[in-house]
């Protein structure tokens, strides 16, 4: 069983209850700025959280969404989460190879916490550019070079302490306690990912390098801001 298949068993349960991750989903959905009838590609869809958020928040707009991931475990979770959405397709794909979509065929591409693990970020972003329609946008969330776990947990606890009414706080405290074994495993896995990022096995890109890659590929109107408890960059750029 591969590293990512193991991760898939714990990832969904852990992140679904993490407040900074919920805010990341909101940031991604807002940055997508989805319009009526648009086609959206989620590259590295994981367990389908972004797709679920986007479809629910844009109900009635007749959008279509395709999710791709190289982990069959993640795909299994995504298909289960999105099984009631008739406008969603979830597919296994090798994300290090060219995307199997025609040139200029998509309105939005979103790639959340996936680019860093791929072999050639510039090649992947070039594929995003190719499949997007003129004027269409890509949205990328990617770890900063100094990304870590501690600040995510601190931000989660800060939000938890301020949560009202009181019964909601109690509920989330109980969930947090019950998930300690799961979060322990996820923390260990994320420490491995972070170590690989710091050793440049994975691509934890700084702001300047992200902007440079996007510009060299051909994207314009490049906007980069901090998100995910300041552990990620959130990028929006247009073709």
Is 164 within a domain? no
Ordered alpha helix ranges (H), the chain: 3-15, 19-32, 49-57, 72-81, 121-131, 150-162, 166-178, 180-198, 207-217
Q: What number is the average pLDDT over the span 24-53?
A: 97
Is 231 within a domain? yes
Residue 21 near residue 228, CB atoms below 8 Å:
yes
Among residues 84, 71, 80, 155, the alpha carbon closest in space to that of 113 is found at: 71
pLDDT digits (tens, 9 = 90+) for 45-57: 999 999 999 999 9
Q: What number is the average pLDDT over the span 105-121?
A: 97
CA atoms of 100 and 128, how far apart (whole Å): 11
Instruction: Say what the pLDDT of residue 1 is.
Output: 56
Q: Distance between alpha carbon 136 and the CA centroid of its chain, in Å? A: 19
Structure tokens at 19: 């407040």
pLDDT digits (tens, 9 = 90+) for 141-180: 999 999 999 999 999 999 999 999 999 999 999 998 999 9
Is 47 within a domain? yes
Pairing, β 220-227 against β 232-238: antiparallel
Residue 186, burial from CB neighbour count under 10 angstroms (0-12, 13-18, 19+): buried
Domain that holds residue 67: 3-148+183-238
Is 215 within a domain? yes
C-alpha dihedral (68, 96, 225, 233), degrees to nearest 10 = 100
**Predicted confidence band of residue 32 (pLDDT cuts 50, 70, 90):** very high
Residue 113 near residue 143, CB atoms below 8 Å:
yes
- Output the domain CATH number for residue 11: 3.40.50.150
Look at 229 and 12; give whichever has higher pLDDT. Answer: 229
Is 154 within a domain? no
Q: Report pTM.
A: 0.94
Structure tokens at 15: 């992140």
Is 168 within a domain? no
The conformation of residue 115, written as its DSSP 8-state character, comes to G
Residue 128 near residue 109, CB atoms below 8 Å:
yes
Is 173 within a domain? no
Is 158 within a domain? no
Q: What number is the average pLDDT over the span 198-209?
A: 93
Residues 6+ apart with CB under 8 A from 165: none
- Number of folded domains that form the chain: 1
Q: At what angle do helices 49-57 and 19-32 cross, to 10 degrees?
A: 50
The per-residue pLDDT of the chain, averaged, comes to: 94
């Amino acid at each position: 069983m591969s590293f990512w298949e193991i991760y898939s068993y714990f990832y969904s349960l852990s992140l679904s209850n993490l407040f900074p991750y919920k805010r990341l989903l909101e940031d991604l959905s807002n940055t997508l700025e989805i319009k009526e009838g648009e086609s959206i590609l989620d590259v590295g869809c994981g367990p389908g959280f972004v797709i679920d958020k986007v479809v629910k928040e844009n109900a009635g707009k007749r959008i279509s969404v395709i999710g791709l991931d190289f982990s069959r475990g993640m795909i299994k979770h995504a298909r289960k989460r999105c099984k009631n959405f008739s406008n969603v397709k979830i597919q296994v794909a090798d994300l290090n190879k060219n995307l199997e979509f025609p040139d200029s065929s998509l309105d939005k591409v979103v790639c959340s916490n996936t680019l860093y693990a791929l072999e050639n970020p510039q090649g992947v972003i070039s594929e995003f550019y190719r499949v997007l329609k003129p004027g269409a946008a890509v949205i990328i969330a990617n770890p900063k070079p100094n990304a870590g776990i501690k600040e995510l947990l601190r931000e989660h606890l800060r939000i938890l302490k301020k949560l009202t009414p009181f019964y909601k706080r109690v509920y989330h405290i109980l969930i947090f306690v019950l998930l300690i074994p799961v979060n322990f495993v996820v923390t260990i896995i994320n420490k491995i990912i972070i170590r690989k990022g710091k050793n440049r096995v994975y691509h934890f890109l700084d702001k300047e390098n992200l902007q440079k890659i996007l510009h060299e590929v051909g994207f314009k109107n490049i906007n980069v801001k901090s998100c995910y408890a300041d552990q990620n960059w959130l990028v929006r750029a247009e073709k």
